[in-house]
Structure 1
Amino acid sequence: MNKPLQVLIVDDEELARRLSVEYLRAHPDLEIIGECETGMEAVDAIAKLNPDLVLLDIQMPQLSGLEVLELTGRRSGVIFTTAYDQYALKAFDLHAIDYLLKPYSQQRFDEAINKARKLLAQEVTATENTQALEKLVAQHSEKLQRLLIRDRGQVHIVALENIDYVEAQDDYILIHTGDKSLMKTQSLSDLETQLDATKFVRIHRSYLLHLAALKSIEKASKDSHVAVLRNGQQIPVSRAGYERIRAII
């Protein structure tokens, strides 16, 4: 006998979770291993339980469904549920496993489950689906309003206006905000493309500066400069970085 596929239900509405539980009764080969009310809970549950399939609400408080995927790296075994078809259609157009537009019927739910079951069993199609979800998450990340950081088992949500500067560290970046420094697995160049170039300036190959945190640019030597921040910190400015910042301020 094959092992049942393990399912995680993620939705901030209790009635929606109850409906999914009820509809899943028609699928004895699926086992519910958890329910989450928030995106934060979902991030932890996906990491700990590694479910085969996630029924994932897109619009939730704290973290959206797409932000959950961004934080967990989850790129397969996802059925989106949403009351907003502008989001659902994006997922559908990119060939995500499937989406359920609320309110949905048992028949529509069964169709999505059957499609997911087949995709999980077909490696080639699953790879295509993984790439589609990757594109969807990347598209969402292009419109950054805040940074999502999973550091030492905790999820941090950092508003862009609170960032002083970002520093490259090998395969990671350090986001400096006030008296905190948070580590994120991402390249500095990748983050730079997602931020407003009139507010965040690459002043050095290893530093991305938030102009709102800048107090002054001062000479460090005859041919070099440093950026002095409002909190007193100093970070180096390359020649190219100096020209970029001069062009803006």
Structure 2
Amino acid sequence: MEAIKAIIIDDESLARDLVRSYLGACQDIEILGEYSDGFQGLKAINELEPDLVFLDVQMPKLTGFEMLELLDKPCNIVFTTAYNEYAIRAFEHNAIDYLLKPFSNERFQDAVRKVKDRISNSVTSEDQIEKIKNHNDSSDELLTRVVVKSRNKIDVIAIDKIKYFEAQDDYVMIYTNEGRYLKQKTMKYFESHLSPKEFCRIHRTYLVKIDQIAQLQPYEKDHWIVILKTGESLNVSRNGFKQLKLQLEI
């Protein structure tokens, strides 16, 4: 079996030090990185795609559970926490183990053995996963829906229900009449997977559904805003205004 690639996510430096120390005895586990808050950890998991994550529960910005709800795909998790009341919830997220601080090296190595068993018994090949991923990300296919994981549920949002998208760092906020949903994708991804007849990039921050537009209004010198049918207003950049005029044929 190839080396297991792991990351450590914990806001306490001493806790990260302890996990790193215990992993020193595991020659077949490689540490890719260490992170002190949930947002950094989430970004690292989605970018580095580790085989294993040692994860705290209570952290700044995002808790461990909030992180799991925002992952692009599931991964092998060992929780390391001082709180025993989250154990049931952890195993509902299919955690491999739940280490209650302070834990011994013996208890830690027991968790590592469980990780190795889980990984070695996996029946899904990496080639199959990559094939599915490539198929789903094909720019030749337009999206008909967006799937968002949040708060222990999965929301399936039909494209025709979406009013607009708003870029937020490495995420995109999706707005509908029913609510808003945070998805870890880039605005470029959505722009290339949605019909230009239905959506327009009016600003680097906004991608709006054209049939949701009620008005275009001037705003200061050489600036415009879009008024949606719901009354919401969105800024329009100069390039966005040019593109919008083309798509609206005005």
TM-score (norm 1): 0.53
> Which residue in 2 is equivalent to 1:211?
none
Give 1:131-210 correspondences, 5 Å limit: 140=152, 151=167, 154-155=170-171, 166-167=176-177
Kindly state the Cα deviation for residue 48 of structure 1 after the two structures are TM-superposed.
1.7
- What is the match of residue 13 of structure 2? 14
1:88 and 1:101 in contact (8 A); partners too: no
Displaced runs of 4+ in structure 1, greater than 3 A? 92-95, 137-142, 149-153, 173-176
How much does 1:74 deviate? Answer: 3.8
Residue in 2 that maps onto 1:210: none
* SS of aligned partner of 1:123: coil
Following superposition, the deviation at residue 140 of structure 1 comes to: 3.9
SS in 1 for 2:85: helix
Per-residue CA distance 1:111-163 (angstroms, 9 max, x = gap)? 1111011101112599xxxxxxxxxx866459xxxxxx99575247x8xxxx9
Counterparts of 1:109 and 1:150, CA distance in 2: 42
* Counterpart residue number, 1:54: 53
Paired residue for 1:119? 118
- Is residue 2:34 matched to residue 1:35? yes
Aligned amino acid, residue 29 of structure 1: D
How do residues 61-72 of structure 1 correspond to structure 2 at under 5 angstroms? 61-72=60-71
> C-alpha displacement at 1:94, in angstroms?
6.3
CA distance in 2, matches of 1:93, 1:74: 16
3-state SS of 2:117 partner: helix
- Structure 1 residue matching 2:17: 3-state secondary structure: helix
Whichever residue aligns with residue 39 of structure 2, its letter is M
Query: Does the alignment pair 1:4 with 2:3?
Result: yes
Q: Does 1:97 align with 2:113?
A: no
**Aligned position for 1:244:** none
Query: Which residue does 1:107 correspond to in 2?
Result: 106
Task: Output the CA distance in 2 between the equivalents of 1:45 and 1:94.
Answer: 19
Q: 1:59 to 1:3 in 2, by over 3 A?
A: same
Give 2:74's aligned residue.
75
Question: How far, CA to CA, are the matches of 1:103 and 1:9 in structure 2?
Answer: 16
Counterpart residue number, 2:87:
88
**Take 1:62 and 1:10, find their aligned partners in 2: how far apart are those partners?**
13
**1:4 and 1:31 in contact (8 A); partners too:** yes
Unaligned runs of 5+ residues in structure 1 are 127-136, 143-148, 177-181, 186-206, 208-226, 234-249
Q: Percent same amino acid at aligned positions?
A: 38
- Residues paired across the two proteins, number: 162
Q: Which moved more, 1:66-75 or 1:19-28?
A: 66-75
In 1, the alpha carbon distance for the partners of 2:69 and 2:21 equals 29
Q: Is this contact kept in 1: 2:69–2:151, CA < 8 A?
A: no
Q: TM-score, normalised by structure 2?
A: 0.53
After superposition, the Cα gap between the structure-2 partners of 1:175 and 1:123, relative to the gap in structure 1 and judged at 3 Å, is closer
Instruction: Give the Å deviation of 1:82.
Output: 1.4
Q: Residue 110 of structure 2 aligns to which amino acid in structure 1?
A: E
Aligned-pair distance for 1:70?
A: 1.6
**Which SS does the other structure have where 2:59 is aligned?**
coil
Q: Letter of the 1:61 partner, please give it.
A: P
Q: Is the 8 A contact 2:66 2:151 kept in 1?
A: no
